[in-house]
Amino acid sequence: MGNARATGGAPRRFGPASPATTRIRRSSNRSSRSRLRFRLPWLPGSPTSSRRKPIVKNPERDEHLDAKGASRRKFLRTTAAGVGAAAGVPAAAEAFDFETFFQKNFRRMSDEEIEALKDRMARKYEKKFGKSFNVQATGPVDNTLFGYGLDISRCIGCRRCVDACVQENNQSRDPEIQWIRVLEFERERVVRGFELDEGNPYYEHEQAPAEGMVYLPIACQQCEDSPCTNVCPTGATWEEPDGIVVIDYDWCIGCRYCMAACPYGARHFNWAAPTIPADEVNTNIHPLGNVPRSRGVVEKCSFCIQRVRDGRYPACHEACPVGARKFGNLLDPDSEISYLLKHKRTFVLKSELATRPKFFYFYG
Ligand code: SF4
Ligand code: SF4
């Protein structure tokens, strides 16, 4: 995991990719058992996209959240009494924290409460890692719906994106957790049509791409109709108005309903306490993104919320040596991602499930 591109040097903003290097990295992620279908994606401005509802200031949803919040409190109260410790599930039982226990769901917090949360997080992680932390809780960007594009014809399977993601987003080094999986397929097989579970995420060649192989990186697809958020019993995960599906890790009870519901295998559970060496921890954190997680919570890609809301590219985009990754605002007709959707033959994974991903694949 020695790649420092994600956090080192001057940040790159919406520009060309860096030069290519093809040495590959090891992956420990598991393959997803799923089907790949080639269909036209839903497009911004299409009738489906106009069905999108705002999430904040919605009385119905707030009422729903109150109900979910009550069950979360009840669950935590039980686990704090011992049940959770026996089951080895929720992080809250690991080290009971009075302030965190009574903390509101992030999307119900006032500005003052968010400021208090930032202070609390900064103190907590300074104590843990012996470094000062910069906690930013930048809100959704106006008139923006973030979208990602990936050019399969360019991807060389080097897994630099995986390394950059691990470093930027404070993923556990031991045990390893990786939000991006790069699947390797035989080119011949792909031509005839293939399924996602035929992809090998564990390939170990000295260099990539290997002859006759093609690569498909996959992470959270940031679905518009996200099954994961629909099943969460505590309201710990939701879609933000700028399209990023986030998790309030202090509200996650580790029940893993979302993992079962996600058809892309994009959520990852912390079975053990994550470990991050203090000299590698990213100290620029967002509570809904790369904040260091605890044992017993589910985590996933947030499009690098701590970066993109600041006008920067995601770390994986910045690290890709061949420019296979494209990112931008789907609502901006002049953005690169809008251009791709208009002019390339893009597709989304498992379009038949109508999850309406905001992650698009295409052949350049
Ligand atoms: S890919 Fe999975 S985790 Fe991501 S939004 Fe869709 S259902 Fe949720
Ligand atoms: S997307 Fe880019 S960085 Fe990731 S494996 Fe493909 S070529 Fe490498």
**Which of 27, 29, 150, 159 to mutate to test ligand 2, by most ligand atoms within 8 A of the CB atom?**
159
Q: How far is the CA of 224 from the centre of ligand 1 (A)?
A: 9
**Which are the contacts of 358, defined by CB distance < 8 A and separation ≥ 6?**
145, 146, 147, 148, 221, 222, 223, 224, 243, 330
Burial (CB count <10 Å: 0-12, 13-18, 19+), residue 98: exposed
Q: Other C-beta atoms within 10 Å of 347: how many? A: 18
Strand partners, 238: 246
Q: How far is the CA of 291 from the centre of ligand 1 (A)?
A: 19
Closest by CA position to 180, among listed 285, 344, 32, 308: 32
Tell me if 294 sits within 8 A of 275, measured CB to CB: no
pLDDT tens, per residue, the chain with 364 residues:
333 333 333 444 443 333 333 444 444 443 333 333 333 344 443 433 433 444 444 455 555 565 665 556 455 545 544 434 434 444 444 556 777 778 999 999 999 999 999 999 999 999 999 999 999 999 999 999 999 999 999 999 999 999 999 999 999 999 999 999 999 999 988 877 778 889 999 999 888 899 999 999 999 999 999 999 999 999 999 999 999 999 999 999 999 999 999 999 999 999 999 999 999 999 999 999 999 999 999 999 999 999 999 999 999 999 999 999 999 999 999 999 999 999 999 999 999 999 999 999 998 8
Closest ligand 2 atom to Cα of 158: 8
Q: Collapse the DSSP code of 18 into the 3-class scheme (helix H, G, I; strand E, B; otherwise coil) and give the result.
A: coil
Q: Record the tokens describing residue 56, joined without a space.
A: 């904040």
Q: Record the tokens describing residue 282, joined without a space.
A: 């990213």
pTM listed for this prediction: 0.80
Closest by CA position to 110, among listed 143, 134, 137, 142: 137
Closest by CA position to 355, among listed 248, 258, 256: 258
Ligand 2 within 6 A of CB of 182: yes
**Which of 242, 350, 355 to mutate to test ligand 1, by most ligand atoms within 8 A of the CB atom?**
355
**Which of 258, 264, 303, 350 to mutate to test ligand 1, by most ligand atoms within 8 A of the CB atom?**
264
- Chain-centroid distance, C-alpha 316: 11
